[in-house]
Amino acid sequence: MKETGVTLRAVALRITSPEGERSGIELDGGPVTIGRAAPDHAPDVALGPDPQRWVGRLHCTLDYAEGMWSVTDNASVNGTLLRHGDRTERLQGRRRIQHGDVLLILGDMTPEGEPLYWELTFLDPHTTRPAPFGAPEEVRHAGPGLRYDWVSAQAYRCENGTETLVTGLRPQGHQLLRYMAGRNGGGAAVACEHAELIAALWGPPEEWAPHRSYDRTDIAGIVRAVRRCVESDPSNPKILETVTGIGYRLNLCPGDRR
């Protein structure tokens, strides 16, 4: 792989950082790993700086086979979004990628909680773009549960067929809901262990700052703050529930696959 110039002659990725800086990488075959550089790991396409460590070390992979490129999210904590035409959805499994498609990977958030993404635009001068497909019908929920919008990084409380925007979430609260929503089973309740949530929010112990450790007390503090935002009665939670001795369970709107 090599950086590209202005004239596009081969398949390439145009990379735009959350700050708007652009670069280009030519793709000469797969697999191509995309992620965050670490002392023991160097992906083919390194997205950085990433002080929040929201980009996975092996976040996603591009593959080339039988004349087609595809992309796979490698069970990343914060997920990968795929924008195809006017549709943006969370990447599930392996998907074919076509000219003009954009991969969105969370890189940062503003103090107001607005998501800032790495944008990786796939450019293939030799392909024919397909006609756009219609969007599926919206799935409504009769509550109580939570819907997480992966594009806007906003959460909605669903109850009795009504959605209410959740406000006041801090970045780690967003990250907690984003991770747990990404573990959904097509709208089924999502239960996560304490250790799993600690790794999702702060990474593995070897990445923690010297003399710093995290335990279920730290998770509990974030959960309390989230409940104040998502629950009608935080003392009797219905959406983000405690699973005694295990961790926490997030109840999602049925059919929420975003």
Residue 253 has what pLDDT? 81
On whether both 105 and 14 belong to a single domain, the answer is yes
Nearest to 153 by CA among 133, 128, 182: 182
On whether both 14 and 100 belong to a single domain, the answer is yes
pTM of the predicted protein model:
0.59
Average confidence (pLDDT) per 10 residues, the chain, 258 residues:
51 91 87 89 90 90 87 90 87 87 92 88 75 51 74 87 90 91 68 90 87 93 96 92 89 67
On whether both 119 and 162 belong to a single domain, the answer is no
Nearest to 57 by CA among 72, 27, 77, 71: 77
Residue 220 has what pLDDT? 95
Please state the separation of Cα 89 from the chain's center in Å.
10
Find all residues with CB under 8 Å of 68, minimum gap 6, and list them.
96
Domain count, the chain: 2
Measured between alpha carbons, how far is 215 from 187 in angstroms, rounded to an integer?
28
On whether both 109 and 163 belong to a single domain, the answer is no
Domain for residue 6, yes or no? yes
Residue 187 has what pLDDT? 55
Residue 241 has what pLDDT? 92
On whether both 44 and 111 belong to a single domain, the answer is yes
On whether both 180 and 118 belong to a single domain, the answer is no
On whether both 119 and 160 belong to a single domain, the answer is no
Residue 4 has what pLDDT? 46
Which among 123, 156, 184 is the end of a domain?
A: 123
Measured between alpha carbons, how far is 78 from 57 in angstroms, rounded to an integer?
12
On whether both 242 and 204 belong to a single domain, the answer is yes
User: Angle at the Cα of 180 (from 71 to 258), degrees rounded to 5?
Assistant: 50
Residue 131 has what pLDDT? 63
Domain for residue 139, yes or no? no
Measured between alpha carbons, how far is 52 from 108 in angstroms, rounded to an integer?
7
Domain for residue 256, yes or no? no
Domain for residue 113, yes or no? yes
On whether both 118 and 158 belong to a single domain, the answer is no
Residue 134 has what pLDDT? 57
- The HSE-up count of residue 151 (CA atoms within 13 Å, CB side) is 10
Domain for residue 163, yes or no? yes
Segments forming the whole domain that contains residue 76:
2-123
Domain for residue 86, yes or no? yes
| Helices H / strands E in the chain, number of each | 3, 18
Domain for residue 135, yes or no? no
Tokens of 17: 């950082």
On whether both 167 and 244 belong to a single domain, the answer is yes
Q: Residue 241's domain is classified under what CATH number?
A: 1.10.10.10
Nearest to 135 by CA among 182, 100, 89, 184: 89
DSSP string, 31-86: -EEEE--BTTB--SEE----TT--S-TT-EEEEEETTEEEEEE-S-SS--EEEETT
Measured between alpha carbons, how far is 44 from 193 in angstroms, rounded to an integer?
32
Domain for residue 41, yes or no? yes
Going by the DSSP 8-state scheme, the letter that residue 166 receives in this structure is: -
On whether both 26 and 82 belong to a single domain, the answer is yes
Q: Residue 78's domain is classified under what CATH number?
A: 2.60.200.20
On whether both 35 and 113 belong to a single domain, the answer is yes
